[in-house]
Amino acid sequence: MPILKLKKLSKTYTEGKNVETHAVRHIDLEIKKGEFVVVSGPSGSGKTTLLNLIGGLDAPTSGTIMFNAFKISHLKEKDLAHVRLHNIGFIFQAYNLVPVLTAKENIEYIMTLQKVAPKIRNERIEKIAHHLGIYNLLHKKPNELSGGQQQRIAVARAIVSKPKLILADEPTANLDTHNSETLLDLMKKLNEEEKVTFIFSTHDPVLIEKAKRNIILKDGKIDKDITV
Amino acid sequence: MFKIILKTAYLNLWRRKSRTFILIVMISFGLAAMIFTQGLYEGMMSQMIDDALRTSSGDFMISKEGHYKSQLLSDYIYDTEPVISALKKNNNVAHFVTRVKNEGMVSSAKYSQGAEILGVNLEQEQYFINYKKPLRQGRLELNENKKEAIIGQDLADKLKVKIGRKIVLTGQALDKELVAGAFRVVGIIRTNNPEIDEMSVIIRQKHMQELFKMNGHISEVSVLVKDKKQAKQTESTIKAYLTKNSSQKFEVLGWEELYALLAMMKSMFVYFVYISYFIVFLAVAVGFFNILLISILERVKEYGILLAVGTSFSIVKKMIYLEALIVGMFGFVFGSFFGALLLIYSKFWGIDLSNFATGLNKMGMASIMYAEIHFGYFVLAFVVVLLTSYLSAIIPVWKLKKLKPVQAIRFV
Ligand SMILES: Nc1ncnc2c1ncn2[C@@H]1O[C@H](COP(=O)(O)OP(=O)(O)OP(=O)(O)O)[C@@H](O)[C@H]1O
Ligand SMILES: [Mg+2]
């Protein structure tokens, strides 16, 4: 059973009266549990829109999204928040962390919302901190961390909340090549070990090469869907 | 979970120290000013009422039925004994005095004018006319044998009489005959009760009764009670006793009926406070609202991320309300503190307004005002701060929601 199934998914933005942008058009897509998928394509091809639709941050104009055989398109905002909280992790390009909280508190945040017991929260943080080599960063505030460190904290936060799917929209856009590769390797490692499904968008050809499945968008449509 | 929301709200607050600081100063200042004004006005009002009561009716006054309206000497109390025993029996009665009252004329060598002539026993008046040390010149004693008078300061000024000079009192006696008597002025007083200060001549009760042929009778009895909250009940107890035990018909009138204007001022005061609070805190709320709005709009993307990772909007809402509330509470703490300091100072040391005193005395106010301080002021201040914080945050929260913060993330 696919973890994600998109059927004729479309998103049209209307600005003013007559200006319509078809950001995503009639996309049919299936993603299996545990896959590591890269979405690429030129700027404006609809990567962000697609990821936002999947994550319920934006409502589709038409079509359906099935998540674990459960229809999440057309859910109300409140229910979507609930689905996201318990099933979907997000890593964005920037502003991922709450600036006034420490790295540890940031990692803990989603688990707190999920009402995970404090003891278990601490155990999970210990474990992921060792795993990702971020132990000595835990008590720092985001502005005391480098871009790469911040993104690793964001990955840690996404993973400790035990989501089934992690959506990462250009998480490496602000990082140099070395940091980008480290972050990607980290996500791949977690994908293999924790069996979390990853959907990852990027422009970077080096990163695209590392993915097993590469979906290339063009003008809001799937241009190519390559599995290595 | 609440802890992390609170912490985020609290820390968010201090990301913009100067703005938050200005807000807290603004709220504290407004509150301190309001608390101070409230205490000062209430003190002033109580003083005004107390001055008026002690020099006239007391908490309530007993007289023959119809006397208050007619003010006629002929409406006197002839059956005094049950009145005295009723008052002595009652536990809530603190003090009382008997007075004879008549309207007449007072003349000095050059001037004459209408006056209210009061026949009192000064020994009884220590909790009444004497209570606030009203003497300005001369002495507050009336010789038993010589005909002496004490008069209000403004009256003395108008008549241009000094201590030692004689004045002539003229009026209708009980037998309707016009009578007159000369009295020597031995004391000049200021009671802050305009009625007394501008109109009254005080003489010995015995002399008054002789002059107006009162045959030992009195016009009214003024009563002070111990517990003011029980005053109404005491009034009716005494009224009931008199109905039962006397052949004469009496009226027992509370000060609120006798001083309708003062009573109205007292009861309107609370609205005055509410209106002032409303005006002051409307201004505070506008500033509060603006600062909150700017701060929240600056953080749209941060809230967007929080929402994206599964925070419900109601939690974000709580965060913003809490932030506003914390600022409000800081303002409350400082405002109450300074307000209380000001009130404590002016409760014990008073505020000297003698520069403005001439005008104030005419209005029945003392020249040194003593504030009051009540727990209720701080409760009201707390409620106002709570409301202001809440109301200031409503629109920023609503704006944030309309901006769809989750979709703002894409424009990084
Ligand atoms: N809120 C919006 N209103 C109107 N048009 C929008 C909106 N968001 C996106 N678009 C348009 O939709 C199209 C797809 O945008 P999208 O951001 O999904 O592309 P992208 O592949 O993520 O691009 P990039 O690589 O630059 O991030 C673009 O033409 C964009 O201008
Ligand atoms: Mg994009």
**Which ipTM score applies to this complex?**
0.92
Q: In chain B, what percentage of residues exceed pLDDT 70? A: 96
Q: Is residue A143 part of a domain?
A: yes
Q: How far is CA A115 from CA A108, B1, B258, B303, in A?
A: 11, 8, 67, 20
> What is the pLDDT of chain A when averaged over all its residues?
92
Cβ of A10 less than 6 Å from ligand 1? no
Count: domains in chain A: 1
Q: Is residue A28 part of a domain?
A: no
The atom of ligand 1 lying closest to the CA of A52 is 18
Domain of residue A127, residue span: 35-59+76-227
Q: Residue A206 — pLDDT band, cuts 50, 70, 90?
A: confident
The atom of ligand 1 lying closest to the CA of A15 is 4
Predicted structure pTM score = 0.83
User: Is the Cβ of B306 closer than 8 Å to some Cβ of chain A?
Assistant: yes
CATH number assigned to the domain comprising residue A87 = 3.40.50.300
Q: Is residue A65 part of a domain?
A: no
Closest alpha carbon to B385 in B335, B315, B341, B339: B335
CA distance B404 to A152: 27
Mutate one of B309, B326, B410, B412 to test the A interface: name it (highest A CB count within 10 A). Answer: B309
B61 membership: H or E segment, kind and range: strand B60-64
CA of A164 to nearest chain B CA: how many angstroms apart?
13
- The verdict on a CB contact (< 8 Å) between A81 and B311 is yes
pLDDT tens digit string along B40-88?
A: 989 988 888 888 888 888 999 999 999 988 888 999 999 999 999 999 9
pLDDT tens digit string along B268-327?
A: 888 998 999 999 999 999 999 999 999 999 999 999 999 999 899 999 999 999 999 999
Q: How far is CA A170 from CA A11, A59, A208, B125, B137, in A?
A: 20, 21, 12, 91, 93
Residue entry with tokens 């003891």: A119
Q: What are the strands of the beta sheet with A88-91, ordered from one edge?
A: A88-91, A165-169, A197-201, A36-40, A213-218, A221-227
Helices B375-402 and B313-348, interaxial angle, to 10°?
Answer: 150
Cβ of A48 less than 6 Å from ligand 1? yes
User: Is the Cβ of B312 closer than 8 Å to some Cβ of chain A?
Assistant: yes
Between the CA of A50 and the centroid of ligand 2 the distance, in Å, is: 9
Would you give the distance in Å from CA B366 to the centre of its chain?
A: 12
Cβ of A102 less than 6 Å from ligand 1? no
* 8 Å CB contact between B339 and B31: yes
Contacts of B308 in chain A (CB under 8 A): 55, 57, 84, 90, 92
Q: Is residue A120 part of a domain?
A: yes
Q: Which of B4, B15, B309 lies closest to A84 in CB terms?
A: B309
pLDDT tens digit string along B5-48?
A: 999 999 999 998 999 999 999 999 999 999 999 999 899 888 88
CA distance A17 to A207: 40
Q: Is residue A66 part of a domain?
A: no
